Amino acid sequence: MMCAGTIRLEIMLAITLTRLLAPLSLVAGLFVGAAQAQNAEPEAMNAAPEAKLDALFATLADAKADNPARIQSRIVEIWSASGSDSMDFLLSRGRDALAAKEYDKAVAHLSALVALAPDFAEAWNTRATAYFLKNEFWLSVADIQRVLALEPRHFGALAGLGVILERTGDEAGALRVQREALRLNPHLGGAREAVERLAPGVDGRAI
């Protein structure tokens, strides 16, 4: 069993991966040089998945982007496409179980999926959600690490990590991670609320 120090180190390594693997332009705003949504998205539709994501993220980086919810939905849609009908079916089964609050069943479906498709970031992210809902926070953190190693721009995984860190008493770590999530996606209301809630106490202690 891992000690608390090891777990904390692994969390910090996950955050470091985000900073090292993402281009600096992405980490600083995750999507600098934003275009208007109606211009970027049609062009992206015929591109490879990574190029589509780059265009969508560039648009999402604009705090005044039109219809950010639609852009986020498109990003999640791309993340959710494994390229295999059978893998997509397992992801769907896992999500259906989550919606039905059948968390053990969700973990079973998603564990089968990550075993078959270990490079499928959204499978790890969805299982992290299932573990979180089961209050198995450190199992959730372990899956979030895998998500960030595979997809450093996963603002949802970072926001989820921030929630876990805050719930387990690491307010400084939570603030750091939520700020990272906001750099990737300035439209995350929950992350913004967390930053506003945590910053006065954490930043005040640092002075």
Distances in whole angstroms, Cα of residue 127 to Cα of each of 5, 18, 96, 103, 136: 24, 20, 12, 9, 11
Secondary structure (DSSP) of 33-79: S---HHHHHHHHTTS-HHHHHHHHHHHHTSTT-S-HHHHHHHHHHHH
pTM: 0.75
Domain boundaries in the chain?
Answer: 11-206
On the CB side of 97, CA atoms within 13 Å amount to 23
* Rg of the Cα atoms in the chain: 17
Res 22 pLDDT > 80: no
Q: For residue 204, what pLDDT is reported?
A: 77
Sign of torsion over alpha carbons 96, 101, 108, 162: positive
| pLDDT tens-digit map of 77-121 | 999 999 999 999 999 999 999 999 999 999 999 999 999 999 999
pLDDT of residue 49: 87
Q: For Cα atoms 145, 73, 149, give the angle at the middle one, nearest 5 degrees.
A: 15
What pLDDT, in 10s, does the model give residues 31-78? 222 223 333 344 444 468 899 999 999 999 998 999 999 999 999 999
Higher pLDDT, 13 or 110: 110
CA distance 44 to 11: 33
What is the pLDDT, as a whole number, of residue 65? 92
pLDDT of residue 31: 25
The predicted model gives 189-193 an average pLDDT of: 95
Q: How confident is the model at residue 206 (pLDDT cuts 50, 70, 90)?
A: low
Class of domain 11-206: mainly alpha
* Residue where the block lists tokens 């307010």: 171
pLDDT, residue 4, reads: 41
